[in-house]
A and B are shown apart, each in its own frame.
Chain A
Amino acid sequence: MVLQLIQGLFNGLSIGSVLLVVALGLAIVFGLMGVINLAHGELMMLGAYTTFVVQNTFRPLGEPVFSFYIFAALPMAFLVAALVGLALERGVIRFLYGRPLETLLATWGVSLILRQFVRSVNGSLALSLGVFCLLFFGAWVILSRLRRDWSELRNRVLWGVGILSGAIAFFTHKVLDSNPTFSTLWFSARNVDVTAPPWLRGGIPLGNFQLPYARIFIIVLTLICVVGIYWFLNRSNWGLRIRAVTQNRNMSACLGIPTDRVDALTFALGSGLAGVAGVAIALLGSVGPNTGQNYIVDAFMVVVVGGVGNLFGTIIAAMAIGIVTYLIGSGTIAALLLPIDALKPVTEFFLFFATTSMAKVMVFALIIAFLQFKPAGIFAPKGRTAEL
């Protein structure tokens, strides 16, 4: 009985941990720029695929090394997701500053592209993309050095250069695609599986149950991320800059803080966290192009419930949503209530919601109810900053 509850809490905690890492990145970016990144789930998915690639790279190296691939996967996933996030911020989001709803739509577009990219990426696609970037940005850099009147020419020239390098890249793609080395898909639309290293298999026995090491690892990983982010935001120079820009963007700029660099850095950091979350979910099950979508809406809810610009609120919200979802969804509550005859209708009510998807229905209802009392989340910003 008690053990069952402990196990329920533990599993809920581990779900909450994954949510927390995902939501942490979202919350920081949302607090700073007022932007919700719908492609956040896809950055997570990229992190998971990076784990898969790192695992396959380490496999030939043999046992003692292979066991620790996860420690190489973590920074790699962070880096890959952070770089893609950086490109997204520099390439799209910064032009949409102050238009959050449009940003939402644009990031959804990016999310669609990333999902399809993973499905259809092969050597020729990757190479032609590289060719395009090389030509386009190369021309950009060279022209901006050569021409003094660059800022006036820029828009017209970039269209031309873009179309030209696009055509060359398309041609490269067509040529390379006839060659089987380049035309085999890297991942295809099927799910890929990451095998946890041996030391993460099994778990601590606890009565009839066990607490899996993989989940403990995720909880520890989350803890490290949270402490790291807390330290970064509150103790480092960049952290102070981020906090200042979050609270008062214009004044921060007038103080000499390069706000565009703060934006880019924060966005990259948030995206990198999504990548780390990707490693975590890769340990929990198989990974496909749509994996990100399964977690992302819950992560949004964490941001909504947690409130803006407060790490602590995000933590509580993530844990609460994780634990409640698990306790209801797994039927733990129903099972606990079962022996008590007087509560039969209540038990039946909980049984009705005792599947993963029905639990989400219940949790959403709870969240809406919660928002009736605390519309701005657990820790609402006070005073004049409260206006969104």
Chain B
Amino acid sequence: MTQVQDHSPTPQVLNPPLLGISGLNVYYGESHILRNVDLTVGQGQMVCLIGRNGVGKTTLLKTVMGLLSPREGQIRFRNEIITRKSPHQRARMGIGYVPQGREIIPRVTVRENLLLGLEARPQGRKGNDTIPEEIFDLFPVLKTMLHRMGGDLSGGQQQQLAIARALMGKPQLLVLDEPTEGIQPSIILEIEAAVRGIIEATGISVLLVEQHLHFVRQADRYYAMQKGGIVASGATKDLSQEVIQRFLSV
């Protein structure tokens, strides 16, 4: 019987959370997928969702992005209710999304894929077509591939492109859905390092779904999901062996 307590680094009263989800219920048709989910991501915090396959982690992220609309509940971002906003409005408010399966636009060049990331800036793209050097510092491999089609890249390269694309919009919250899924170990480390580097350099918040324990440990807080609900949460440094065995497919 381990009691897990709240050890989040920032006191929540002073600093309203960047993202706050309360009482979220999501259905696919008649099937109840998410049940009364409450979750917060503080400023500069990295939060990791864990749980076995099919418990609703991806559904939760899709609902945060606005790809699914909840039947009940509220999502607040930067103190604004965004529950009824469309995905593109949320993106422009500063949520960068790196979906499961990368979802690179396949028949558009890498460069254009990156430029599309600029759409998320509050003022839109507006003729801007420069790609900042920092992107290439993080993911040097992309620089050599600018004129390849996005669909021709390998899985790991696509993953890096997807993260880079999300960063192009200068988001305040980065939503990452299993960034290491199906990627060779050496690149996993590279991606992990890049994500850590981004957080250190820009101080953005991250909401992450991950199965890879090493990566999970980078997060400040974790939420564990089971059958569509949050069943446990706490600081990752208190992540016990029991919880790991229960919720991570290691």
Contacts and interface: CB of A to CB of B under 8 A. Distances in A.
Interface of A: 237, 240-241, 243-244, 247-248, 250-260, 309, 383-385
A250 B67 contact: yes
Nearest to A240: B112
A383 B104 CA distance: 13
A149 to B, nearest CB: 14
A250 B87 contact: yes
B87 A237 contact: no
B125 A237 contact: yes
B103 to A, nearest CB: 4
B87 A247 contact: no
18 contacts: A240-B108, A243-B108, A244-B105, A244-B108, A247-B106, A247-B108, A248-B103, A251-B99, A253-B67, A253-B88, A254-B65, A254-B90, A256-B88, A257-B116, A257-B119, A309-B107, A383-B106, A385-B107
B10 interface: no
Given A240-B108, A240-B115, A243-B105, A256 B99 contact: no
B108 A255 contact: no
Contact of A254 (B97, B106, B115, B151): B97
Nearest to B124: A256
B35 interface: no
Contacts of B91: 253-256
Contacts of B90: 254
Contact of A253 (B86, B125, B151, B165): B86
A252 B107 CA distance: 13
A247 B103 CA distance: 10
Contacts of B115: 240
Provide the main secondary structure of the chain A interface: helix
A256 B105 contact: no
A243 B106 CA distance: 10
A257 B112 contact: no
A248 B105 contact: yes
Nearest to B92: A256
Nearest to B125: A237
Given A252-B105, A254-B99, A256-B124, 9 more contacts: A240-B108, A241-B116, A247-B108, A251-B99, A251-B105, A257-B88, A258-B88, A259-B88, A309-B107
B46 interface: no
The 9 closest A-B pairs by CB, nearest first: A256-B120, A256-B91, A253-B87, A256-B119, A251-B103, A254-B97, A256-B92, A253-B88, A254-B87
B17 interface: no
A178 to B, nearest CB: 49
Contacts of B120: 255-256
A240 B125 CA distance: 11
B42 interface: no
A259 B97 CA distance: 16
A240 B119 CA distance: 11
Given A254-B87, A256-B120, A247 B99 contact: no
A130 to B, nearest CB: 32
A383 B151 contact: yes
Interface in B102-139: 103, 105-108, 112, 115-117, 119-121, 124-125, 127
Interface in B49-76: 65-67
B169 interface: yes
Contacts of A240: 108, 112, 115-116
Contacts of B103: 248, 250-251
A256 B89 CA distance: 6
Contact of B107 (A247, A251, A259): A247
B170 to A, nearest CB: 11
Interface string B145-158: 00000010000000
A32 to B, nearest CB: 13
B119 A255 contact: yes
B116 A252 contact: yes
B67 A247 contact: no
Contacts of A248: 103, 105-106
B66, B106, B117, B165: residue with the most chain A Cβ atoms closer than 10 Å: B106
Nearest to A251: B103
B205 to A, nearest CB: 17
Contacts of B124: 256
A255 B165 contact: yes
A254 B67 contact: yes
Contacts of A244: 105, 108, 112, 116
B201 to A, nearest CB: 22
Contacts of A252: 105, 116
A259 B87 CA distance: 9
B87 A241 contact: no
Nearest to A244: B105
Contacts of A256: 88, 91-92, 119-121, 124, 169
A259 to B, nearest CB: 7
A260 B89 CA distance: 12
A53 to B, nearest CB: 37
A254 B124 CA distance: 13
B104 to A, nearest CB: 8
A248 B105 CA distance: 6
A383 B119 CA distance: 26
A118 B66 CA distance: 43
A256 B67 CA distance: 12
A250 B117 CA distance: 14
A340 to B, nearest CB: 47
